[in-house]
């Protein structure tokens, strides 16, 4: 009974002590459970007599007792003297920052999972291992596999930054290969590259590199191709000319003209080759 009376007198002297003891968290791990049961009860007003201290001390005690539960809880300390702020300003700031980071992450991913992007990248590598592709061709191949467009764009951008996709290199390699193996001219090569989705600027650069890289600058202005390219073309046309020895001169001439124009050479180049064949190999 004596202990009970002493505790009542202590609470009467310190009205805010009951709230602090009742709301003080036992440990950081139990805070989540405690906040769910926390009640915003206004502490009971207690009269402070002059015997308990001066009038100013009584007002200070009353102000402390009238603090909100959030203020009381934020000013409680643990056993080590560390101030706990579970639902104070620090917690609110951290929660807001975490929410902003989550929103930024969602915007960057655009709703596409990393596993889908990896699948698209794996499929693109398998395609490029078989043969070279332009950017447009690779996009079409990946879209035919029903991959998301955003995932395809991400993989294509990554491959371009790493040099795995380069329309300029592809255009030059394609032009040189068709010129040396099949004797394609600039016009047919340009048409094929445009169909593959290569930009016009890179198409022009590739054909200039293949057909105008050499000596004979005077003939470049006349025929549009270098002297070395004209020599190579004449050697290939001569083989076709000799195969038609049984034909009349008119038919042989028509046959060479069709052969050159089908491969994409303009009339100035075609006419120069035909005249040279007739002059050097009349029979």
Q: Where do the structural domains in the chain lie, given as residue ranges?
A: 11-18+46-74, 111-165, 227-283
Tell me which of 94 and 131 has the higher pLDDT.
131
Integer angstrom CA distances of residue 231 from 31, 43, 90, 183, 268:
88, 104, 81, 12, 15
Sign of CA dihedral 204, 205, 207, 213: positive
Other C-beta atoms within 10 Å of 63: how many?
A: 10
Fill in the DSSP letter of residue 96: H
Could you tell me the end-to-end alpha-carbon distance of the chain, in angstroms, rounded to an integer? 138
More confident residue, 201 or 54: 201
More confident residue, 23 or 139: 139
**pLDDT per position as a tens digit, 100-144:** 444 444 334 456 789 999 999 999 999 999 999 999 999 999 999
Is the pTM here over 0.75, yes or no?
Answer: no
The CATH architecture one would assign to domain 111-165 is: Orthogonal Bundle (1.10)
Place of tokens 């009860």: 41
> What pLDDT band is residue 214 in, cutting at 50, 70 and 90?
low
199 pLDDT higher than 70 = yes
Q: Quick one: what percent of the chain has pLDDT higher than 70?
A: 57
**72-76, 202-206, 242-246: which has the highest mean pLDDT?**
202-206
Q: Please identify which residue in the block is written with the tokens 């001390």.
A: 57
Average pLDDT over residues 4-28: 47
| Mean pLDDT lowest among 82-86, 140-144, 204-208, 259-263 | 82-86
Q: DSSP state, 264? A: T
Q: What is the pLDDT of residue 5?
A: 54
Average pLDDT over residues 82-98: 44
Q: For 192-260, what is the HEC assignment?
A: HHHHCCCCHHHHHHHHHHHHCCCCCHHHHHHHCCCHHHHHHHHHHHHHHHHHCCCCCHHHHHHHHHHHH
């Amino acid at each position: 009974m004596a202990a009970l009376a002493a505790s009542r007198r202590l609470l009467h002297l310190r009205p805010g002590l009951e709230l602090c003891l009742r709301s003080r968290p036992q440990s950081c791990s139990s805070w989540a459970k405690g906040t769910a049961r926390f009640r915003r009860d206004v502490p009971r007003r207690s009269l402070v007599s002059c015997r308990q201290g001066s009038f100013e001390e009584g007002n200070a005690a009353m102000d402390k007792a009238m603090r909100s539960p959030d203020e009381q809880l934020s000013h409680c300390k643990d056993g080590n003297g560390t101030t706990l702020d579970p639902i104070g300003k620090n917690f609110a700031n951290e929660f807001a920052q975490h929410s902003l980071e989550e929103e930024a992450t969602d915007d960057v991913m655009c709703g596409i999972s990393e596993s889908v992007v990896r699948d698209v990248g794996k499929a693109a590598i398998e395609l490029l291992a078989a043969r070279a592709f332009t950017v447009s061709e690779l996009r079409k191949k990946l879209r035919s596999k029903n991959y998301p467009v955003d995932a395809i764009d991400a993989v294509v951008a990554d491959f371009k930054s790493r040099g795995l996709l380069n329309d300029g290199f592809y255009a030059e390699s394609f032009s040189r290969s068709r010129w040396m193996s099949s004797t394609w001219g600039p016009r047919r090569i340009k048409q094929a590259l445009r169909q593959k989705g290569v930009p016009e600027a890179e198409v022009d650069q590739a054909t200039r590199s293949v057909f105008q890289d050499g000596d004979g600058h005077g003939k470049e202005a006349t025929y549009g191709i270098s002297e070395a390219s004209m020599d190579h073309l004449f050697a290939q046309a001569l083989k076709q000319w000799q195969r038609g020895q049984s034909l009349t001169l008119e038919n042989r001439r028509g046959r060479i003209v069709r052969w050159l124009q089908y491969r994409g050479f303009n009339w100035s180049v075609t006419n120069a080759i035909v005249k040279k064949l007739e002059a050097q190999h009349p029979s």
